[in-house]
Amino acid sequence: MSVVLVDAGGTNIGSVRYALQRLGVDAALTSDAAKIRAADKVILPGVGAAGPGMARLRELGLVDVIRSLTQPVLGVCLGMQLLCAHSQEGDTTCLGVIPVHVHRFEEAPDLCVPHMGWNRLSPRVTHPLLKNLQEGDWAYFVHSYAVPMGSYTLASSDYGDPFSAVIASGNFHGMQFHPERSASVGAKLLKNFLEL
């Protein structure tokens, strides 16, 4: 099985590669369109802001490449948000493969933004990506923007209000948390993705 990490300038790429290596997969880091199209699985990692992330994909000529993929694709953290239609962060038009708009968390006296740290997951549907995920399992989040709940929501978390923690539409999937930093739960979900 060939797995590629899209080299879109995310700073968590090393830790994602290491998490995959622990699962027995050596994922190539590439911005080569042919290699991305030929892979069995594609992962779009990302830490940073939506505007620069999309600018990097445009600069590499990968926007239409990613949109046209038919194999399983996983966006992680910012990578998940880039799969959506639009982000409020920098008023950014994103890839649009999952038709939803990403919004900034509302600040409140008891809620700091960014949302940072461990939070519980709540499965909303039965899906192969969530195999063996239990209600209340913990995952590690670092983000200021979130995908609202919708028909694409596979699992949610709560920060003031529920938001999408895992999403999917067709062959495109996203995890808002960092599976590579989420201990056994993250490893389980990455393994599930590799088995799709």
Task: Give the residue numbers annotated as catalytic, written as ranges.
Answer: 77, 178, 180
Please report, to the nearest 10 degrees, the dihedral formed by the alpha carbons of residues 184, 2, 26, 10 taken in order: -80
Whole-angstrom distance, CA of residue 105 vs CA of residue 183 = 25
Task: Using only the alpha carbons of the chain, give its radius of gyration.
Answer: 15
- E strands, the chain, are 3-6, 28-30, 41-44, 73-76, 84-87, 92-93, 98-104, 115-120, 122-123, 138-143, 145-146, 153-159, 161-169, 172-175
